[in-house]
Amino acid sequence: MLKPLLARLKQGHRTITYPDGEPPAMPDRFRGRPVIDASKCVEGCRACIEACPTEALTAERLPQVDLGKCLFCADCSEACPQHAITHLQDYRLSTRTREDLFVGAQDELRLARALDAKLKRLFGRSLRLRQVSAGGCNACEADVNVLSTIGWDIGRFGIQMVASPRHADGILVTGCVSENMRLALEKTYEAVPAPKLVIVVGACAISGGPYAGHSQQHNGVEGLLPIDLYIPGCPPHPLTILDGLLRLLGRIEVDSVRIQSK
């Protein structure tokens, strides 16, 4: 009886203070939002585009990254002979629309706006989510799970993962939506009472990720269900997920971040 209490004393209080305090520091090698310094690009060079495993990089005239496809791997930056691509430490990536995830060299990233007044009144202080893994690799699932541990404690914001879709205000989907999970995903969505939200977490759920194009899956949730929040990453850092959820609920209010090179 005394030992657990003593252990509790030794382990201390560990919940992060963010968003009131500073967010936890990202590791120095953390690959957040990729930025391209187009002034360094050499005419006709396609090294990054060819290296990208998921065709997240495209170039009409200037290169553009689709954060919804990006695996945040180091393949492009390693392939670039000009060192024009770098990954910022910036963990803020979530958007409300698919289009906002396409970012060019000089664009602003339009971060997720809050829900409209009616939905915010409903969900702003109490959001129950049913998580559905539909072809996920268990990394997105793990870092969603982390948010319920004492370190992150999303219960502070009234957010809770629930077992039954009937108790939920929305679903949080991970995975490329395997054909074998499609029906279960649709049924789970139907079982949630309206109004309801759909949040997609990770490159797979947004675009199919490394499985895009396989006949056994559906390239993510797009086209199957209406999506309210996109959280990119492979997997997104827990802070990226938390940031997205808090923006959706109107707890963080900066609208966009300027894209700039280091």
Partner 1 sequence: MTSSAFAKTWNGEALALIDVPRRPIDQFRVALIDAVKARCRVSSLFVRRPTESGKPELVAVLTDDSDGSVLIGIGALEGERYASLTPSCPQVHLFEREIAEQTGVAPEGHPWLKPVRFPDKADQRNARIGEMDFFKVDGDEVHEVAVGPVHAGVIEPGHFRFQCHGEEVFHLEISLGYQHRGVEDALVDGPHNRTIHVMETLAGDTTVGHAWAYSQNVEALSRVHVSAHAQVVRAIALELERLANHTGDLGALAGDVGFLPTQSFCGRIRGDLLNMTALLCGNRFGRSLVVPGGVRFMLEPERATELKKRLETAERDLQIAVNLLWESATVQGRFEQTGMVSRTACVDLGLVGPAARACGVEVDIRSTHPTGVYQFTNIPLATAHHGDVNSRAYVRWLEIQRSIVFIRERLNSLPASDSLSSRRELAADSIAASLIEGWRGEICHVAITGSNGKFSSYKVTDPSFHNWTGLSMALRNQPISDFPLCNKSFNLSYCGFDL
R_g of the chain computed on alpha carbons? 19
Nearer residue to partner 1 within complex by CB, 89 or 97: 89
* Cα–Cα nearest to 206, from 147, 134, 146, 145: 134
Per CB under 8 A, which of residues 168..207 are in contact with partner 1?
175-176, 178-181, 183-184, 188, 204
Distance set, CA 205 to CA 6, 79, 168, 241 (Å) = 43, 26, 20, 14
What's the one-letter identity of residue 236? P
Amino acid at 77: S
Q: Is 163 in the site for partner 1 (CB under 8 A)?
A: yes
Which of 46, 108, 142, 260 lies at the binding interface for partner 1 (CB under 8 A)?
A: 142
Q: b or e along 146-179 (b: 16 or more beta carbons within 10 Å of the residue's beta carbon)? A: bbeeeebebeebebebeeebeebbbbbbbbbbbe
Q: 29, 61, 258, 262: which one contacts partner 1 (CB under 8 A)?
A: 29
Instruction: State yes or no: residue 215 binds partner 1 (CB under 8 A).
Output: yes
Residue 230, number of CB atoms within 10 A of its CB = 28
Q: Distances in Å between the alpha carbon of 113 and those of 106, 109, 117, 251?
A: 21, 12, 12, 10
Candidate residues 137, 200, 225, 246; the one interacting with partner 1 per rule CB under 8 A: 137
Is 11 one of the binding residues for partner 1 (CB under 8 A)?
yes
User: If binding is defined by CB under 8 A, does position 4 make contact with partner 1?
Assistant: yes
Residue 71 sits in the site that holds partner 1 (CB under 8 A): yes
Q: What is the nearest approach in angstroms of partner 1 to the Cβ of residue 171?
A: 10
The residue ranges that bind partner 1 (CB under 8 A) are 3-4, 7-8, 10-11, 14, 27-31, 51-54, 71-75, 78, 87, 131-146, 148-151, 161, 163-164, 175-176, 178-181, 183-184, 188, 204, 209-211, 214-217, 234-235, 237-238
